[in-house]
Amino acid sequence: MDRRSFVAALSAAPFVRRLSHAMPINRPGLQLYTVRDAMSEDVSGTLATLADIGCIEVELAGTYGMTATSFRRLLDEFGLRAVSGHTDFAEVRGDWQRTLDDAAELGHEMIVIPWLPEEVRTPDGYRAVADDLNRAGEAARRMGFRFGYHNHEFEFDAMDGVIPMALLLDETEGSLVDWQMDIYWVVDGGHEPLEWLGHYSDRVTSVHIKDRSAKGAMVDVGDGVIDFEKILRAAEAHELRHSFIEHDNPADSLVTVRRSFDYLMQEFAR
């Protein structure tokens, strides 16, 4: 099935979910949004704990009031590399050059837009967003960055026979805009990640690894039913460069990180 037929089929029928248990990856990173509570209380102590757990790569979701230079210095102190960073969509339509300059200072390889405001979530709004993403991606590429978009579940709600995630991917240039696939949210949106990887494997350069219970709750990696083995093997066979553990609302964020990291490393490391 080609992409055009795939997109048409998306609007016509629901996906069957195939969920089991998780898989091997070499060394996952961490999206620091997971530990935002701990970071807000003790940045240095939290980074030290992450290094002790075994984290090497992190993805930022802000610098906690510090300048890019100061935060980079702190990351270096603990042997952590901020290979990626999330930034607000407003920056794309604002002072994008400043965002790129900060990303360079922080040592990012890629910059990711993680969220869209509700007012742009219309078919025409998504098309305008795609144009903005192309322009931002072109500027990012000129400075040596990869640039991408991170999904939630709302991009999989059909509008006028169109799946917004497909629209964004089809209306953006593959050389300019990557897809950071959040596996949990694809599943939560009622779709099968493998189906999307089959048609957009060249766009998925990073993933968020977070698990889902049979009833839909977000849980620590290894406690849920998502079949990471099949999904990550498929992604790694193509363009996958980075993976990041994430949990949006953990009961104890550092415990969640340790449990999730240990699960992936001890049970499934190659």
Is 254 a member of any domain? Answer: yes
Structure tokens at 121: 């979530």
Distance CA 140, CA 142 (A): 5
> What are φ and ψ of residue 232, in 5° steps?
-75, -35
**Domains held by the chain: number:** 1
Is 35 a member of any domain? Answer: yes
Is 25 a member of any domain? Answer: no
Q: Which residues contact 250 (CB under 8 A, 6 or more apart)?
A: 34, 220, 256
Structure tokens at 122: 């219309």
CB 176 within 8 A of CB 137: yes
Per-residue pLDDT of the chain (270 residues; tens, 9 = 90+): 555 555 555 544 433 222 222 233 568 999 999 999 999 999 999 999 999 999 999 999 999 999 999 999 999 999 999 999 999 999 999 999 999 999 999 999 999 999 999 999 999 999 999 999 999 999 999 999 999 999 999 999 999 999 999 999 999 999 999 999 999 999 999 999 999 999 999 999 999 999 999 999 999 999 999 999 899 989 999 999 999 999 999 999 999 999 999 988 876 665
Is 224 a member of any domain? Answer: no
pLDDT given at position 27: 82
Q: Residue 235's closest CA among 189, 181, 190? A: 181
The CA distances from residue 129 to 121, 137, 169, in Å, are 9, 12, 11
Is 20 a member of any domain? Answer: no
Q: How far is CA 99 from the centre of its chain?
A: 18
Q: Residue 17's closest CA among 265, 235, 195? A: 195
Is 229 a member of any domain? Answer: no
What 8-state DSSP symbol labels residue 155? G
Distance CA 201, CA 199 (A): 6
Interstrand relation of 218-219 and 211-212 (parallel, antiparallel or unpaired): antiparallel
Q: Is 177 left (phi over 0), alpha (psi -120 to 50) or beta?
A: beta
pLDDT given at position 2: 58
What is this structure's pTM? 0.90
**CATH code of residue 145:** 3.20.20.150
Is 61 a member of any domain? Answer: yes
Is 165 a member of any domain? Answer: yes
What 8-state DSSP symbol labels residue 173? -
Question: What is the extent of the structural domain holding 240?
Answer: 31-209+235-268
User: Cα(first)–Cα(last) distance of the chain, in Å?
Assistant: 33
Residue with tokens 């704990």: 49
Task: Quickly list DSSP for 68-113.
Answer: HHHHHHHHHHTT-EEEEEE--HHHHTS-HHHHHHHHHHHT-SEEEE
pLDDT given at position 7: 52
